[in-house]
């Protein structure tokens, strides 16, 4: 093993949206930053490829979407296993969501970090770190083998299977969310419009999203115990849903299927001495209730603020980074609570059918729900007694 001289103040582990956006924001503030990622970009990622209006607003303001192909998404249609679906629309002034392939989006965001001054090192993995004397000694592995490097702080932005979070010992699996997702692209699905379709079943869910190149993104999320069965016959899961009956007869699957899992974890804290967690590393949001890119981007903004302030005043200790923990809870606590409630309803078909009927009766409430999961409205609007009273009236 060899030692490297400190090249930057901050190490960011993971070059996806959370890591790349944090790196860009820090570099633009003059903070020396290095990004490590196991992969070589551009690389694809299993994802529903849906950007919420909230995420689109952040990316568009920074010019990150210029030249990227994307299909506009006007809202969401939810199909319970029994009964009629309900629709929720984004208001026209919100600009809507977008469907963008992750292989293009992630490469764009990482390139923006490079242009801002970040040192990006691909094919480089984090192994562990120790905190001492106000800094972190990080063990890594690159193309030339294992090495150690010194940084003032480490950002864990390495996703739902974060090695940084596991090393800290803060990961807490959520048993009912232990799931696996199968993602593919399909051409020729009948009845597709400019909305996300979410089909809920007792043991699995399927999402359909319009694609920028005419291919629909199909994401099937199943319990971990059923993963092998679905992997052997992915089309079998589609036959479980009445709303998908006959729609794949003329469809053509692209040979680009991807798998990811398992889902479902929280963290006891997103900060430690010299470390903070961003994006899926700091807690997972189930894809049925929204997408994680907004969480990654907004979390990166909070992380950059906290790290900049901490490094300007001394060592980035857990106490110095506690402001990030409070900001993270304020920004996302309500959404995690709403996600949990929705997941419990989705897992009970009778309950979902009941609430779908109520939301069809009150389309303004359906719009409010979808705008909240689209990161436009604050969750307190949905979690209020007034919303519940109107829904059940």
Q: What is the pTM of this model?
A: 0.94
Rounded to whole angstroms, the Cα distance separating 170 from 337 reads 19
Which residues does residue 130 pair with via DSSP β-bridges, in sequence order? 137
Rounded to whole angstroms, the Cα distance separating 352 from 346 reads 6
255-266 pLDDT tens trace = 878 877 666 678
Token code pair at residue 369: 């729900």
HSE, side-chain direction, 13 A CA sphere, residue 126:
31
Rounded to whole angstroms, the Cα distance separating 93 from 97 reads 12
**Residues 90 and 376: beta-carbon distance below 8 Å:** yes
Q: What are the φ and ψ backbone dihedral angles of 177, each rounded to 5 degrees?
A: -105, 15
3-state helix, strand, coil in the chain (%, to 5): 40, 25, 35
pLDDT of residue 40: 96
315-343 pLDDT tens trace = 999 999 999 999 999 999 999 889 889 98
Where is 343: in which H helix or E strand?
helix 322-346
pLDDT of residue 262: 61
pLDDT of residue 151: 96
78-136 pLDDT tens trace = 999 888 999 999 976 657 999 999 999 999 999 999 999 999 999 999 999 999 988 99
Rounded to whole angstroms, the Cα distance separating 195 from 213 reads 15
**Quick one: average pLDDT of 274-292?**
84
- 3-state SS, residue 271: strand
- Find where tokens 């990080």 sit: 138
- 3-state SS, residue 226: helix
pLDDT of residue 273: 96
Rounded to whole angstroms, the Cα distance separating 334 from 330 reads 8
Average pLDDT, the chain: 90
- Find where tokens 């099937």 sit: 220
- Sorted by sequence, the CB contacts under 8 Å of residue 30 that are 6+ apart come out as none
């Amino acid at each position: 093993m060899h030692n490297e001289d400190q090249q930057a103040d901050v190490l960011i582990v993971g070059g996806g949206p959370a890591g790349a956006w944090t790196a860009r924001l820090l570099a633009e503030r003059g903070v020396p930053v290095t990004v490590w990622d196991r992969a070589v970009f551009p690389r694809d990622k299993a994802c529903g490829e849906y950007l919420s209006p909230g995420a689109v607003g952040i990316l568009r303001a920074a010019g990150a979407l210029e030249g990227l192909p994307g299909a506009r998404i006007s809202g969401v249609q939810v199909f319970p296993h029994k009964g009629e679906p309900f629709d929720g629309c984004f208001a026209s002034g919100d600009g809507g969501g977008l469907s963008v392939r992750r292989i293009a989006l992630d490469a764009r965001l990482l390139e923006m970090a490079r242009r801002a001054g970040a040192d990006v090192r691909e094919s480089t993995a984090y192994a562990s770190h120790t905190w001492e004397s106000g800094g972190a000694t990080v063990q890594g592995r690159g193309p030339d083998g294992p090495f150690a490097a010194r940084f003032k702080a480490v950002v864990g932005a390495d996703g739902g299977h974060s090695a940084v979070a596991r090393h800290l010992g803060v990961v807490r699996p959520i048993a009912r969310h232990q799931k696996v997702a199968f993602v593919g692209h399909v051409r020729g699905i009948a009845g597709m419009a400019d909305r996300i379709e979410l089909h809920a079943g007792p043991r699995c869910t399927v999402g359909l999203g319009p694609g920028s190149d005419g291919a629909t993104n199909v994401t099937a999320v199943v319990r971990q115990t059923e993963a092998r069965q679905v992997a052997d016959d992915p089309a079998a899961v589609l036959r479980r849903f009445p709303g998908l009956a006959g729609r794949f007869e003329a469809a053509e699957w692209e040979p680009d299927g991807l798998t990811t899992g398992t889902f479902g974890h929280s963290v006891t804290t997103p900060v430690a001495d010299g470390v903070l967690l961003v994006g899926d590393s700091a807690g997972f949001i189930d894809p049925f209730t929204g997408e994680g890119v907004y969480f990654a981007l907004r979390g990166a903004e909070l992380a950059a603020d906290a790290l900049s302030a901490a490094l300007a005043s001394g060592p980035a200790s857990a106490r110095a980074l506690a402001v990030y923990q409070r900001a993270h809870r304020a920004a996302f606590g309500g959404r995690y609570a709403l996600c949990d409630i929705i997941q419990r309803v989705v897992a009970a078909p009778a309950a979902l059918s009941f609430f779908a009927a109520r939301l069809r009766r009150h389309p303004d409430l359906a719009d409010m729900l979808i705008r909240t999961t689209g990161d436009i409205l604050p969750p307190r609007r949905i979690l209020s007694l007034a919303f519940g009273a109107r829904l059940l009236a």
